[in-house]
Amino acid sequence: MESTANKKIQYKICSRCIMDTTSDPNLVLDENGVCNYCHEYDDLCKQYSHYKDNGEKQLSEIINKMKEDCKNDEYDCALGISGGVDSSYLLYLCHEYGLRVLAIHVDAGWNSEIAVQNIEKMCAKLGYDLHTVVMDWPTIKELQRAYMFSGLANQDVPQDHCFIAAVRQYCKKHHIKYLMNGANLATEGILSHAYQQSPRDWINIKGVYKKCGRGKISLKKYPHITFWDQYFGYEYFYPVKFINPLEYIDYSKKGAIALLEKEFGWKYYGGKHFESRFTKFFQEVYLPQKYGWEKRRDHISSLIVGGEMTRDEGLAEIQIPTSTPEQMAEETEYVLKKLDISEQEWQEILAAPNKTVADYPNELALKHCLQSIKHKIIK
Ligand SMILES: [Zn+2]
């Protein structure tokens, strides 16, 4: 069966946000020209509306409970920090609420200098301890290299999975009960399904490495969470509770950037998640060149439906490239060299058929089975 990513499609764009068929070839428009993502966003807002009712009061109550639960511990919570807007603002917010935070940063070898400086400046000024987990470079390199040859859309999986796993493993080892999370509808309300391959699927990661890797490493040094860890371990046996404070407040990306710049000398580096040089390459070069997709449309659309930007402003912003062609060529050369991929191999990667998760072993069948068992028990 031909992958949907390889089909020729007719161009469509949403009349409310700027999602189009370059951000998801399967975009569905209703009779008013409004896309499925806008409808999903509205549903999420309804689902999450209880957060906003007395949000600050609810958040204060949660934080008081955290402080009580952790009064004999060294820290009230941990926070995975990338140096980006959301996690940096969250660190500031935790300080405002008087929480004792351990900031954990995972260095996968692609940090931009600005991101590292942002993290250091903030932790120093707020007086927070910073623990940096440095990934084994040969492991990350071989896994990322395998992904580049896999034809899969979401090239951020090897980085994202070890970020999630390393922070959780640290919490488990040091009995940290709470993990602060920067997830929020305001900046992430719209995420294209087209490349949202789950970064949590360990079966898929192993499968991709086995099929597309060079077999030079064993993945033993790669921090990972198994299916068991994800659905049972961290839930029931060594629980780590996730708190999403940004959902309880009126979070504004523009406001957060202004505050961080003023208070901490924090610097913005352009696109979302560009704190990693690999992510920058993935979003600016790999996805547009191999798939013809623009991930920026998700980010801008999220701000439009969240009311931080008008659709016209969004349409104007998407026309402004985040890098010049020269900068992109330089970035591509840097990434390919670091991953030991020749120019000829890069051309082969671009020309090879696009693949989906279903082309490799994955946890989807196991997940569906678990969901149907849960459903029967609850029924
Ligand atoms: Zn839309």
Span from the CA of 27 to the centroid of ligand 1 (angstroms): 9
% the chain with pLDDT above 90: 68
Question: Which tens digit of pLDDT belongs to each residue from 10-49?
Answer: 899 999 999 998 888 889 999 999 999 999 999 998 888 7
Span from the CA of 89 to the centroid of ligand 1 (angstroms): 27
pLDDT exceeds cutoff 90 at 300: yes
Span from the CA of 37 to the centroid of ligand 1 (angstroms): 5
pLDDT exceeds cutoff 90 at 165: yes
Span from the CA of 36 to the centroid of ligand 1 (angstroms): 7
pLDDT exceeds cutoff 50 at 2: no
Q: Which of the pair, 317 or 188, is modelled with greater confidence?
A: 317
pLDDT exceeds cutoff 80 at 376: no
The pLDDT assigned to 272 comes to 58
Span from the CA of 106 to the centroid of ligand 1 (angstroms): 34
Question: Which tens digit of pLDDT belongs to each residue from 92-127?
Answer: 999 999 999 999 999 999 988 888 999 999 999 999
Q: Which residues have a beta carbon within 5 Å of ligand 1, which is an ion?
A: 14, 16-17, 19, 35, 37-38
Span from the CA of 158 to the centroid of ligand 1 (angstroms): 29
How many whole angstroms separate alpha carbon 299 and alpha carbon 190? 7
Q: At CA 351, angle to CA 347 and CA 356, rounded to 5?
A: 125
Span from the CA of 306 to the centroid of ligand 1 (angstroms): 11
Other beta carbons within 10 angstroms of residue 121's beta carbon come to 18
What's the token pair of residue 325?
Answer: 């062609």
Selection from 209, 198, 258 nearest residue 231 by Cα: 198
Span from the CA of 270 to the centroid of ligand 1 (angstroms): 23
- CATH topology for 56-359 is Rossmann fold (3.40.50)
Span from the CA of 191 to the centroid of ligand 1 (angstroms): 11
Tell me the backbone φ, ψ of residue 180, rounded to 5 degrees. Answer: -80, 140
The pLDDT assigned to 242 comes to 92
Per-domain residue ranges of the chain: 56-359
Span from the CA of 183 to the centroid of ligand 1 (angstroms): 20
Span from the CA of 372 to the centroid of ligand 1 (angstroms): 31
Span from the CA of 143 to the centroid of ligand 1 (angstroms): 35
pLDDT exceeds cutoff 60 at 4: no
Span from the CA of 100 to the centroid of ligand 1 (angstroms): 40
Q: Which of the pair, 311 or 233, is modelled with greater confidence?
A: 311
Average pLDDT over residues 294-319: 93
Span from the CA of 311 to the centroid of ligand 1 (angstroms): 10
AA identity, residue 115 = A
Predicted model pTM:
0.89
The pLDDT assigned to 179 comes to 96
Span from the CA of 317 to the centroid of ligand 1 (angstroms): 16
What per-residue string of b and e applies to 56-90 under the rule 16 or more CB within 10 Å gives b? eeebeebbeebeeebeeeebbbbbbbbbbbbbbbb
AA identity, residue 174 = H
Question: Which tens digit of pLDDT belongs to each residue from 199-222?
Answer: 889 999 999 999 999 998 999 999
Selection from 149, 235, 154 nearest residue 201 by Cα: 154
The pLDDT assigned to 7 comes to 54
pLDDT exceeds cutoff 80 at 331: yes
Span from the CA of 84 to the centroid of ligand 1 (angstroms): 25
Span from the CA of 296 to the centroid of ligand 1 (angstroms): 14
Q: Which of the pair, 269 or 193, is modelled with greater confidence?
A: 193
What per-residue string of b and e applies to 262-301 under the rule 16 or more CB within 10 Å gives b? eebebbebebbbbbbbbbbbbbbbbbeebbebbbbbbbbb
Span from the CA of 165 to the centroid of ligand 1 (angstroms): 33
What's the token pair of residue 52?
Answer: 């906003």
Span from the CA of 376 to the centroid of ligand 1 (angstroms): 35
Average pLDDT over residues 347-366: 93
Span from the CA of 153 to the centroid of ligand 1 (angstroms): 22
pLDDT exceeds cutoff 70 at 196: no
Span from the CA of 206 to the centroid of ligand 1 (angstroms): 35
